[in-house]
């Protein structure tokens, strides 16, 4: 027999029966290192259900997961959940904790995320998968961003892609890794957006996951500089989502930060500062949130300077604004006095502040948008 696997599937079956999404998610451990139960389960899977016995593993899951096979309280059968569990057990069996195998881990995780998304789409029971989908998405996100920062692994992936396509696939692997992750997570986002559950003045069902999953997608797209793909998320939320104020503060702040950055990148500076100001005002003021507040403030201050509004001395004294005075003062001074030479020196690519501005990708917007303010002041002073 297979005692650990049997016990594990019996527990999962019970969580579906009583519709306990939290307990279900707590059993679906995704990130190693795992607990002892999981290593016992892995050993059993490797011995009794190796890769060539996938059909037997699927049959075992079908047999044990009665609630998914037959539905609960008259709901339709939940076959995608059975297939998710087969994929999950295969993932546990095959995942390698060796960091040299990260590309293989990534492929396993993407397969798991796709199955989780499919199970999420069930009309009545799918909502039980929401915490699992979000947890899996967080791990996929971290790995996609981590891999994108590893040029040696990306080169390995590119050469494999070029070999597979006869050498005409130049550079596409670099695009596909984070974008592939974001595309798969967007399907989960769409499942949440399309949920028919409605309630007055509160968010229920899969709609609870809209901003959680959107923010994970946006994190991937912004970190990997693929922001053009974010437009669909913002459009869908603008057209269909329940009002933002019904969601937890942390989700609101993160979403408005990314919306502000997106508007900033597309030269909508007034709308950008509105979103960023809201995010900044809502963001917790504790010491643990200084980094988040600083990131919001970089784009908020830059947007306002482009609009001709300067930050107050009090704002520049805050812990999250350390160094801002030093970076922005020469630009503001040049704009106030009409000093073109000072302005160009402050934003020179070889200047002392260039690296900081380039890191946040605000150097070119400042150069291109603020010079007109300097000219205006200069003209006023001359005439």
pLDDT digits (tens, 9 = 90+) for 204-228: 999 999 999 999 999 999 998 888 8
Provide the pLDDT for residue 22: 96
Is the pLDDT confidence value at 91 over 90? yes
The Cα 133–Cα 114 span in angstroms is: 9
Q: pLDDT tens digit string along 47-87? A: 999 999 999 999 999 999 999 999 888 778 999 999 999 99
pLDDT at 260 over 90: yes
Mean pLDDT of the 113-142 span: 95
User: What pLDDT is recorded for position 173?
Assistant: 46
Mean pLDDT score across all residues of the chain: 91
pLDDT band at 170 (very low <50, low <70, confident <90, very high): very low
Q: What's the confidence (pLDDT) of residue 175? A: 54
Q: Report the 10 Å Cβ neighbour count for 96.
A: 12
- Within 13 Å and on the Cβ side, how many CA atoms surround 41? 23
Residue 148, number of CB atoms within 10 A of its CB = 20
Cα gap 108→87, rounded to integer Å = 9
Average pLDDT in the 229-243 region? 92
Confidence of residue 163 (pLDDT cuts 50, 70, 90): low
Identify whether the C-beta of residue 205 lies closer than 8 Å to the C-beta of residue 185: no
Question: For residue range 270-310, what is the model confidence (pLDDT) as tens digits?
Answer: 999 999 999 999 999 888 999 999 999 999 999 999 999 99
- Predicted local distance difference test score (pLDDT) of residue 165: 54
Span 176-202, average pLDDT = 88
CA-CA distance, 278 to 303, in Å (whole number)? Answer: 14
Average pLDDT over residues 4-19: 96
d(CA 184, CA 164): 22
The helix, strand and coil proportions of the chain, stated in percent and rounded to the nearest 5, come to: 75, 0, 25
Half-sphere exposure of 149 (CA within 13 A, CB side): 8
The predicted structure's pLDDT at residue 201: 80
Go through 347-360 and write b for each residue having 16 or more CB atoms within 10 A of its CB, e for each that does not: beeeeebeebbeee
Distance CA 110, CA 116 (A): 10
In tens, the pLDDT along 14-50 reads 999 999 999 999 999 999 889 999 999 999 999 999 9
Q: What is the pLDDT of residue 149?
A: 85
- Using CA atoms, how far residue 93 sits from 12, 108, 120, in Å, is 18, 11, 23
pLDDT, tens digit (0-9, with 9 covering 90-100), for 321-339: 999 999 999 999 999 999 9
């Amino acid at each position: 027999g297979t005692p650990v696997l049997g016990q594990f599937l019996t527990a999962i079956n019970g969580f579906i029966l009583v519709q306990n999404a939290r307990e279900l998610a707590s059993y679906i451990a995704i990130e190693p290192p795992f607990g002892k139960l999981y290593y016992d389960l892995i050993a059993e899977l490797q011995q009794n259900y190796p890769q060539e016995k996938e059909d037997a593993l699927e049959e075992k899951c079908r047999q044990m997961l009665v609630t998914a096979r037959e539905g609960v309280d008259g709901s339709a059968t939940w076959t995608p959940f059975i297939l998710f569990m087969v994929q999950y057990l295969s993932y546990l069996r095959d995942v390698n904790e060796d960091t040299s195998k990260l590309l293989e881990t990534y492929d396993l995780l993407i397969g798991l995320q796709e199955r989780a998304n499919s199970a999420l789409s069930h009309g009545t029971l799918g909502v039980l998968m929401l915490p699992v989908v979000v947890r899996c998405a967080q791990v996929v996100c971290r790995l996609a961003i981590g891999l994108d920062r590893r040029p040696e692994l990306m080169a390995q992936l590119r050469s494999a892609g070029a070999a597979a396509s006869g050498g005409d696939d130049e550079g596409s692997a670099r695009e596909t890794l984070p974008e592939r992750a974001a595309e798969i997570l967007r399907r989960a986002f769409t499942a949440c957006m399309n949920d028919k559950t409605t309630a007055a003045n509160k968010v229920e069902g899969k709609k609870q996951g809209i901003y959680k999953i959107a923010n994970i997608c946006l994190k991937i797209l912004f970190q990997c500089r693929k922001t053009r793909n974010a437009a669909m998320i913002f459009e869908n939320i603008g057209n269909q989502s329940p009002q933002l104020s019904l969601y937890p503060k942390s989700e609101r702040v993160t979403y408005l930060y990314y919306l502000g950055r997106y508007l900033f990148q597309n030269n909508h500076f007034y709308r950008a500062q509105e979103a960023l100001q809201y995010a900044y005002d809502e963001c917790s003021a504790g010491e643990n949130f200084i980094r988040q507040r600083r990131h919001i403030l970089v784009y908020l201050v830059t947007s306002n300077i482009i609009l001709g509004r300067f930050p107050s001395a009090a704002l520049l004294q805050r812990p999250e604004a350390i160094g801002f005075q030093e970076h922005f003062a020469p630009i503001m001074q040049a704009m106030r006095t009409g000093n073109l030479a000072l302005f160009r020196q402050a934003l020179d690519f070889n200047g002392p502040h260039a690296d900081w501005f380039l890191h946040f990708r605000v150097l070119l917007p400042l150069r291109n948008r603020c010079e007109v303010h300097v000219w205006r002041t200069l003209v006023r002073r001359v005439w």
